[in-house]
Amino acid sequence: ILIEVDEFEDAATCYLQIKGLNKEAVAAAASALDLNGSYTTK
């Protein structure tokens, strides 16, 4: 998996992107980062 942090100059917050082919691994990473219920999948 790949975890990227996006920072926008005009925004006060950062956004995380968790990318991977294995949905279970991506979900596990989101859970480990305490992002449950606050993310969407493609």
Q: Which of the pair, 4 or 13, is modelled with greater confidence?
A: 4
20 CB burial (10 A radius; 0-12, 13-18, 19+): middle
Cα separation, 41 vs 4, whole angstroms: 15
Give mean pLDDT, residues 7-31: 87
Kindly report the pTM of this predicted structure.
Answer: 0.70
Mean pLDDT of the chain: 86
Q: Which residue has the tokens 């975890």?
A: 3
